[in-house]
Amino acid sequence: MSALLHVDNIGKRFYGFVALDGINLEVQPAERLGLIGPNGSGKSTLVNCICGTLQNETGSVHFDGKVLDGLAAHERTHRGLARSFQLPRPFHSMTLADNLRIPLLYTVRAREGMLHAHGDLAARCHELLQMVGLADKAKRLPRDLTQVEMRKLELARAMAAEPKLLIADESMAGLSHSEVDDILALLLRLNERGITVILIEHIMSAVMRFSQRLAVLVSGKKVADGKPEDVVRNPDVVRAYLGQ
Amino acid sequence: MNTTAFSLSAAAIGLALLVVAHWLGVDYLYFAGYTILQFIVLATAWNILGGYCGYVNFGSAAFFAIGAYSSVFWYKFHPLPVPVLIVFGAVVSGIVGLGTGYLTLRLRGAFFSIATLAMAVVFQTLVVNWDYVGGSRGAYIIRPESLEVAGLTINYIEYLFALMLVLAVIALVTARAIERSQLGYGLATIRDDELAAEACGVPTLRLKLIATTLSGAFMGMAGAPFPYYIGYLQPQSAFGLEYAVNSIAMPMIGGTTSWLGPLIGTLLLGSAQQYATVTISSAVNLLIVGLMLVAFVIIAPNGLIGLVQERLRARRRS
Amino acid sequence: MDISWDLLINALVAGILLGGFYAAVTAGISISFGMLDIVNIAHPAFVILGSYIAYYLNVSLGIDPILVSIIVLPAFYALGALVYQVYYVAFERRGQESLRGLAFFFGLLFVTEVTLILVFGVDYRYVEAAYIGPSLHLGMIELPLRMLVPCIMALALFAALELFVGRTFIGRAIKAVSQDQLALQLMAADPIAIKRIAFGLSIATASVAGALLIIIQPVEPSVGRDYIGRVFAICVLGGLGSMPGALIAAFLLGVVESLTSTFYGPSWAPAVSFGFLLLTLAFRPAGLMGR
């Protein structure tokens, strides 16, 4: 299987409510996939199942040639999967720099088995904070940040895990045009280095500019999957967004 | 200050305390001091799981009593030196901690806490029904008057005091070392946001089990010498209310994010209680502890240390 | 045959009656923990408080304990509403309900127990009522009225609660708030007010449960702690939020405890509930009828 990520017919219910209904999805290495859909369509549930935060009831998830089912979320992160949360979940008692040290300590170090010298870690944290424009706030606590800054921290923390596949879950909500451009540029740079990116967004202009391929989720089902310009003209997709 | 330097300083302070106490030679100091040191160990142990990791253990009394009753068992079966009993108590309590954790830590923190509460009741039931260690009638431990160590004859209570002092130093050094280590960071992420911690690659279950085992082990260590200290052990006193509430109140009032919190909390609350038990009744004393716990939890959730930190941060910003 | 059928059947019957009572004690937790997600470990303390109030008014004014519990119901409701308000302002609103909330309720549990010790002492207390003492006899089955009456009252309480939650607007709002707070807000109902009502209700049930408790057995302040394991075991085994499930679990627990008590001795009874809790948490955390 040449696909980096292969989501094979996964299903998930919450006490009778079907959140995911037989989702099939493939993501190629170094691909830029956009994932869109109305609110409540199951995008975050899908991410949760891929990353192990939730366990899918049916189907399986394959990553980098291996099956992920049964693996805890932290093990999936060790294998190269990283995600940001839709509602930012920073570690409140730690500074921004320390927030970024956690993935470095627990994922990168665990994976590489190398001992990062103290200075190395600090430099890497600084570099990441600079990439998202938060370097001057390195010693602050998350509660001192604005909502927008917290989203950037969220993204930086996902990047700190040095993933093969990064899932950015609505990282751009509330950002200004130029800030959106900055994040997009950042994600594109990551992609150029070979990191596969799944972008989940509502800001259509960003999604269209960024994605090589677009998948659409509606009510737990995938209704479209293909080139962005084709998908937006798909009548099912139009109907889902604009109503009958 | 790195861990080695801190250990040496703590050991030096401990040694100094021992010498001063020996020179003063007042038995009451040994008895009162033992109790306070014992609570330092209990509070510090509780805090490793509660303050650092965010998982509340209501069954401290059970772990403490497991240590105490394993000593009673050996006393009846084949008496062993107290330091050996301490190690044994640590191992048994640690295993129980591991077991409880393994069964309940994969679920929410609330279930772990409820399980610890229920566990205390169950262990008390087991002990009450175990006649070999005295059951509900209790067990008498006859402690020697004195002990020969390196040519010196020491009062036995002084010996117990010294042992507990060593345990307290070890507990504080360990807690501080954990706090500053990668383990400490990991525990803090579990406390702050377990889901995000997992997503960052933190093996949450493993770390929680480490914390539970360590915490249980230290509590068992604190309990192991207790039968020798008290002379007559009954389940009501081993599983008593004061252990449950104090091991929570002392760290929460002192401050849960640092090794210093349980120490300060114990010194303040412990001394106050020693005084109150003698002057007022022990029930009123416990009532005051309970009320203080509720008050602090509502008003000053990060304890005294938290209040000081807030002051410093406010001053730094202005 | 070693087992005396007489003993076995009576143990079973006693277990069922006991189970009915356990359901009454658990009803409150079913609401506060099952629906509101509040880990109120102090609930048994409120039950014991109810027992002591019933005792006091029974001994001083001769009023029937169940009647007492109904009279003080509004006071318990108000107490519950007050406790929830403090809990909400201090913890829920700040998102710190896990560690601090638990410590808060533990503190309440503790303070209540110690206060009762100070006021009433540690001796066991009893109540006097016409139905404590006599028993009904159906063949070889003995139905002590002091257990039958509480069981019937408990089931009545349970049924009343089920109806309330299922049929009234407020009851359904309570169910709704446990599932989707946002939707409730959009329907112009204040979720905080709903939760306060629900919590007040759960403490109100403690008043009745307390009176029933002291009818069944003599009470002293530490008895509450035996019930913590029981009520949460029942709640978890029954499946959080499922009141019918809690009822079944309560009967199950009652029967197993009664059988253990009869054949192995009463001092083993507390271990039973813990065993239930551990087994359930380890193997089927969603409970028998898990939501």
- Residue A211: pLDDT over 90: yes
What burial letters (b/e) apply to A81-119, b meaning 16+ CB within 10 Å? Answer: bbbbbbebbbbebbbbbbbbbbbbbbbbbbeeeeebeee
Q: Is B257 on the interface with A (CB under 8 A)?
A: yes
Spatial neighbors of C180 by CB under 8 A, at least 6 apart, are none
pTM of the predicted structure, to 2 decimals? 0.89
C-alpha distances out from residue C220 to B150, B237, C94, C120, C285, Å: 51, 17, 36, 9, 32
d(CA C207, CA C66): 9
Cβ <8 Å between A89 and B191: no
CA angle C269, C272, C275 (to 5 degrees): 155
**B310 lies in a domain?**
no
pLDDT at A99 over 70: yes
Q: Report the number of distinct structural domains present in chain B.
A: 1
Closest by Cα among C55, C93, C95 to C72: C55
pLDDT at B216: 95
Which pLDDT band, with edges at 50, 70 and 90, does B234 fall under? confident
What backbone phi and psi angles, to 5 degrees, belong to B218? -65, -40
Domain residue limits at B231: 3-240
Residue B298 resides in a domain: no
- Pick among B52, B191, B200, B257 to test the A interface (most A CBs inside 10 A): B200
| Among the partner residues B186, B199, B202, nearest to A53 by beta-carbon distance | B199
The per-residue pLDDT for range A158-194, each reduced to its tens digit, is: 999 999 999 999 888 878 888 888 888 889 989 998 9
10 Å Cβ neighbour count for B19? 10
Indicate the range of B208-222, B265-279, C151-165, C228-242 predicted with least confidence. C228-242
Q: Is the pLDDT of residue C118 over 80?
A: yes
Residue type, C134: P
Query: Which chain B residues touch A98 with a CB distance below 8 Å?
Result: 185
CA of B119: which chain C residue's CA is closest?
C274
pLDDT at C184: 64
Q: Is the pLDDT of residue C63 over 80?
A: yes
Contacts of residue B188 in chain A, CB cutoff 8 Å? 91, 93-94
Stretch A9-20: mean pLDDT: 85
Each domain of chain C, given as residue ranges in start order, spans 5-221
Contact C86 B298 (CB under 8 A): yes
Domains of chain A, earliest start first: 5-242 (3.40.50.300)
**Residues in chain B closer than 8 A to C41 (CB atoms):** 58, 113-114, 117
Which residues of A are less than 8 Å from B201 in CB distance?
Answer: 74, 77-78, 102-103, 106-107, 110, 161
The alpha carbon of residue A203 is apart from the nearest alpha carbon of chain B, in Å, by: 25
Of B189, B191, B201, the CB nearest to A77: B201
Size of the A and B interface in Cβ pairs below 8 Å: 80
> What Å distances lie between residue C36 and C137, C175, C193, C200, CA to CA?
42, 9, 12, 12
A91/B contact by beta carbon, under 8 A: yes
Nearest CB neighbour to C282, from listed B103, B117, B122: B103
Q: Both tokens of residue B167? A: 């345990």
Interface chains of chain C (3 or more CB pairs under 8 Å) = B
For chain A, say whether B195 makes contact (Cβ under 8 Å). yes
Q: Ramachandran region of residue A129, left (φ > 0), alpha (ψ -120 to 50) or beta? A: alpha
Check if A95 contacts B (Cβ < 8 Å).
no
User: From the DSSP assignment, how many helices (H) and strands (E) are in chain A?
Assistant: 10, 10
Reported as a single tens digit per residue, the pLDDT across B123-175 is: 888 888 888 888 888 888 888 888 777 777 788 888 999 999 999 999 999 99
Residue C147 predicted with pLDDT over 90 = no
For tokens 């209501």, name the residue: B58
Could you tell me the two tokens for B294? 């509720």
Q: Under a CB-based contact definition with an 8 Å cutoff, are residues C73 and C207 in contact?
A: yes
- The alpha carbon of residue C137 is apart from the nearest alpha carbon of chain B, in Å, by 33
* Residue A156: pLDDT over 80: yes
Residue C1: per-residue pLDDT: 47
Question: Cα–Cα distance between C275 and C241 in angstroms, integer?
Answer: 21
Structure token pair of residue A32: 């830029």
Q: How far apart are CA C157 and CA C167, in angstroms?
A: 15
Q: From C282, which residue of chain B is nearest by alpha-carbon distance?
A: B103
Q: Which two tokens stand for residue B128?
A: 């009450």
What is the mean pLDDT of the segment spanning A51-80?
A: 92
Residue C291: per-residue pLDDT: 41
Report which residue type is found at C76. F
Alpha-carbon torsion angle C265, C269, C275, C277, nearest 10: 170
Tell me: pLDDT of B75 over 50: yes
Q: Is a pLDDT exceeding 90 seen at residue C243?
A: no
C-alpha distance across the termini of chain A, in Å: 39
CB C241 within 8 A of CB C27: no
Please report how the helices B60-77 and B109-128 are oriented relative to each other, as an axis angle in degrees rounded to 10: 30
Q: Write the burial class of residue C226 (CB in 10 Å: 0-12 exposed, 13-18 middle, 19+ buried).
A: middle
Provide the sign of the torsion angle of the four alpha carbons B241, B247, B248, B250, taken in this order.
positive
Q: Does A159 touch chain B (CB under 8 A)?
A: no
Q: What is the average pLDDT across C95-121?
A: 86
Chains with 3 or more CB pairs under 8 A to chain B: A, C
Report d(CA C259, CA C90) in Å as an integer: 44
| Closest CB from A53, A91, A160 relative to B189 | A91
pLDDT at A47: 93
How buried is C134 (Cβ within 10 angstroms: 0-12 exposed, 13-18 middle, 19+ buried)?
exposed
Confirm if A14 and A30 have CB atoms less than 8 A apart.
Answer: no
Q: In terms of CA atoms, which chain C residue is nearest residue B293?
A: C107
Q: Pick the range with the lowest mean pLDDT from B3-7, B93-97, C118-122, C138-142.
A: C138-142
Task: Note the pLDDT of residue A71.
Answer: 93
